[in-house]
Chain A
Amino acid sequence: MAAVMPAPAQSRLLMSGNEAVARAVWESGVRVAAAYPGTPATEMLEVISTYPDLYSEWAVNEKTSLEIAFGAAMAGSRSFCAMKHVGLNVASDALMTLTLTGVAGGLVIAVADDVGLSSSQNEQDSRFWGRFAHVPILEPADSQEAYEQTKLAFELSERFQTVVILRMTTRICHVKGLVTVGERIPHVAAGFKKDPARWVMVPGAAQKRIPLMFQREDDLRAEAEVTPLNFVDSGSDRRVGFVTSGPAYMHIKEAFPDAPVLKLGLSYPAPFEKIRAFAATVGQCVVVEEVEPLLETEIKAQGIKVIGKEILPRQGELAPHVLKPVVGRLLGEEVAEPEKKPARAVAPLPVFPRPPTMCVACPHLGVYYTLAQLRNITIAGDIGCYTLGFGHPWNALDACISMGASMGMALGLDKGRGEADKDKKIVAVIGDSTFMHMGMQGLLDIVYNKGNVTVLLLDNRAVGMTGGQDNPGTGRDIHGQEAPRVDFAAIVKALGVKEERVHVVNPYELPTLFKTVREETKIPEPSVIITNQPCVLVDHYHGLKPYTVIDDKCTGCGNCLDTGCPAIHVTKRDSVVKPSGKTVDLAWVRIESSVCTGCGLCVQPCAPDAIVHADKVIQIKALQRH
């Protein structure tokens, strides 16, 4: 994205939490910002890249992004990186030691937990990393707080010379609220000062830094007792008081406007004396946190009597309609059972599910159409749009856990195969960006250890799932400027895949793709099939002439539906009994020509040649009229 003129100070703007953090990063005088895209964190770097006077980039993975930010912080610059929750797992190797060195310039990591699982593989609570790495955790409750806490995080980071984690959740990242913004204050880099005892973490040096880390943690706990980030809202109804952090604060204020609340903005290290004093002022004290009982366990260990996950759910958001019945029951009030009779509402009406689908003309459709045709095959999948291949109509992805895991899982499925699987073909499916993020090492392992795996590397020249961000495979940087473009065929050959085992195919050419996959899965060597057509959502995708169905010619075979293209709609169903006695379901179709981009996938399996270019039909009809 190109730089734009930022809105002037004192403007009151409708901003998502991500946009608010981006603004605060810019105002804090940050000089270096890096991230790998990941929902719900992606927009932070996207928006930062539109601000002037700072360096921003898409890094190849979260660990790299943190190392870049750390390098900049060693150089004395303020720096920032953002990631989704699972990204911090990847970056944690760097985190666990840079907590020993500390930082010179301020360094803030914004980590976005996907509470409610809108778009992730797990619901982990990243606040654990604060405990594990002994670094402070800030938890905003809305966009305004996200903005303010980001600015404070840089001050804390420099005052205590530590990385600070700003813990967001989907309900902060993607909620828009009004934010009053301020001025940018430039920050000058102090310059890198050589100090091996500080920056070179060999055992002898690390040993001396560990006590400093614990001292810092004690100092931060003292800070937590006095910081205005941790405050009490007094309330008139003292039967129940709440200790809370993050978006749950807003839910409590909504559900129990008269209850006392201790709101923790700096939630780790927790201010135990403040909590003890608060708990003494209320009848019962409930800890409300999303999602793990971290504060709760620590508070209980201090001998302070609180209630938490005994009564509250351990997963999902703690919205007002979740909290109200739980607290009502605690107070012995009569509560309508939500599962039987939601308050003032009717039960949800039954409607079919509407899972996300692949796009019309998506280049992955041909890949999964092909994989669905193959028998005796196990498919290790990966993280991206192509994970959707597990669903209908393809059912052609058997496992998915984490970024790049398809490579290792495939090799393990090969090496660990039982007698029943001895003839199974093992296929791994991975996207271009995921391959560069964490897949290359896995492929190297497959080659080095002589695995019998066929890798499908789906190069659609975009980080598709998160909205088509650029990466080293697109030939453009975060600003859309030209950048060196990686050559996937050259990389996989350099990793040791034999030249004759590397194929680049057009995924819309079904016969070629099918033949290549079938042949390569027969050969007991590592092979890589690279598909080379772009994501349909990227700017430079050019659609072709749309298709339509000639109704009279359609025989209802339904082969076109097996591509899974959402532009194909069923107009009529029937079933016939074949002479063999087998019942066959028939489905006649039409193509929504207004969204069809003419990729031609569905034309290929159409037995009666009923699918033709739409303009051809218009011509024929025009001729018939004359």
Chain B
Amino acid sequence: MSEITNILVVGVGGQGVMTATEILAEAAIALGHDVKKTEVAGMAQRGGVVSSHLRFGPKVLSPQITPGDAHILLGFEAAEGMRWRHMLRADGLALMNIGNLAPPVVELGLFEYPQDPVGEMRKSGARVFAFDASAIANSLGDIRLGNTVMLGAIADHMPFPAEVLEKCVLQRFARKGEKVIEMNRQAFAAGRAAAAEAQKTQDAREQAIA
């Protein structure tokens, strides 16, 4: 098991969770790993829950990550990160966008959105690097860059250099012109910086508790 890396990417249908996982898979393949990627995405296009499992290593058998065995949880939406928190290993890491997307059942007042999803995750013992990927994407001029911001955030926590992942991200936009490539380059860098900053905050919090 220790030779296999388990990454769980979660969010809401339409956020680009599956594309992000596919890019992570491409990076792992480029490094010669065996890879399996699977989704639980019933009617994902309709704003439902999406969780995408990526496993890579010398030889991958089952495509599914066992609860409690994810090394990294990459959360595109705050409450969705909380929903899948139990998938993390005890020594796992959650990289979380704190941006919220409330579904209609919440808007209609049938359910409540959690007050502090990241706080709940920490309370349950998870190590969380939290940042506002949606705000970063907006500040760079396009909410659709959120996907690349998230990939930037995970880049320094993969078992391979960040540049490998960056190359795979930018390849995706190779045909979209230099301007789009540059925007994604910036988004990737901003994601890396945001995760690094969030790590400092988390480290300080852990020291304070210790």
Chain A positions near chain B (C-beta within 8 angstroms): 14, 39, 116-119, 142, 171, 174-178, 250-251, 253-255, 317, 319-321, 342-349, 351-359, 385, 388, 392-393, 465, 467, 537, 561, 564, 566, 568-570, 573, 585, 587, 594
Not counting A349-B124, A392-B104, A393-B108, a sample of 9 additional A-B residue pairs whose C-beta atoms are within 8 angstroms of each other reads A176-B22, A177-B60, A321-B66, A348-B86, A351-B83, A354-B79, A356-B47, A569-B107, A587-B107
Q: Evaluate contact between A253 and B61: CB separation under 8 angstroms.
A: yes
Q: Evaluate contact between B63 and A177: CB separation under 8 angstroms.
A: yes
Would you call B29 an interface residue if the criterion is a C-beta within 8 Å of the partner chain's C-beta atoms?
yes
Q: Evaluate contact between A594 and B107: CB separation under 8 angstroms.
A: no
Chain B residues, Cβ within 8 Å of A351:
79-80, 82-83, 114, 117
Q: Which 8 A-B pairs have the closest CB atoms?
A: A345-B68, A356-B46, A352-B111, A254-B62, A118-B42, A356-B48, A356-B43, A344-B68
Chain A residues, Cβ within 8 Å of B34:
177-178
Chain A residues, Cβ within 8 Å of B108:
392-393, 561
What are 13 sample pairs from A and B whose C-beta atoms fall under 8 A apart?
A14-B22, A174-B41, A178-B34, A253-B62, A320-B62, A343-B68, A348-B86, A351-B117, A357-B46, A568-B107, A570-B102, A570-B107, A570-B109
Q: Evaluate contact between A355 and B45: CB separation under 8 angstroms.
A: no
Interface residue stretch chosen among B87-95, B145-153, B169-177: B87-95
Chain B residues, Cβ within 8 Å of A320:
62, 64, 66
Q: Evaluate contact between A352 and B68: CB separation under 8 angstroms.
A: no
Would you call B13 an interface residue if the criterion is a C-beta within 8 Å of the partner chain's C-beta atoms?
yes
Q: Evaluate contact between A319 and B105: CB separation under 8 angstroms.
A: no
Q: Evaluate contact between A175 and B36: CB separation under 8 angstroms.
A: yes
Q: Evaluate contact between B69 and A344: CB separation under 8 angstroms.
A: yes
Would you call B17 an interface residue if the criterion is a C-beta within 8 Å of the partner chain's C-beta atoms?
no
Separation of A253 and B89 alpha carbons in the complex (Å):
21
Q: Which residue of B lies closest to A592 (CB)?
A: B101
Separation of A467 and B87 alpha carbons in the complex (Å):
30
CB A324 to nearest CB in B, in angstroms, measures 8
Q: A14-B26, A385-B46 are in contact. Are A342 and B37 (CB under 8 A)?
A: no
Q: Which residue of B lies closest to A177 (CB)?
A: B36
Cβ-neighbour of B63 out of A171, A342, A343 (below 8 A): A171
CB B123 to nearest CB in A, in angstroms, measures 9
Chain B residues, Cβ within 8 Å of A570:
102, 107, 109
Separation of A107 and B80 alpha carbons in the complex (Å):
44
Would you call B49 an interface residue if the criterion is a C-beta within 8 Å of the partner chain's C-beta atoms?
yes
Q: Evaluate contact between B66 and A352: CB separation under 8 angstroms.
A: no
Separation of A608 and B12 alpha carbons in the complex (Å):
33
Chain A residues, Cβ within 8 Å of B67:
321, 342-343, 345
Separation of A116 and B89 alpha carbons in the complex (Å):
24
CB B207 to nearest CB in A, in angstroms, measures 23
Chain B residues, Cβ within 8 Å of A568:
107
Separation of A566 and B111 alpha carbons in the complex (Å):
15
Chain A residues, Cβ within 8 Å of B124:
346, 349
Q: Evaluate contact between B86 and A349: CB separation under 8 angstroms.
A: yes
Chain B residues, Cβ within 8 Å of A357:
46-48, 103-104
- Chain B residues 52 to 91 lying within 8 A of chain A, measured CB to CB, are 60-64, 66-69, 79-80, 82-83, 85-90
Q: Evaluate contact between B25 and A569: CB separation under 8 angstroms.
A: no
Chain B residues, Cβ within 8 Å of A392:
104-105, 108, 110
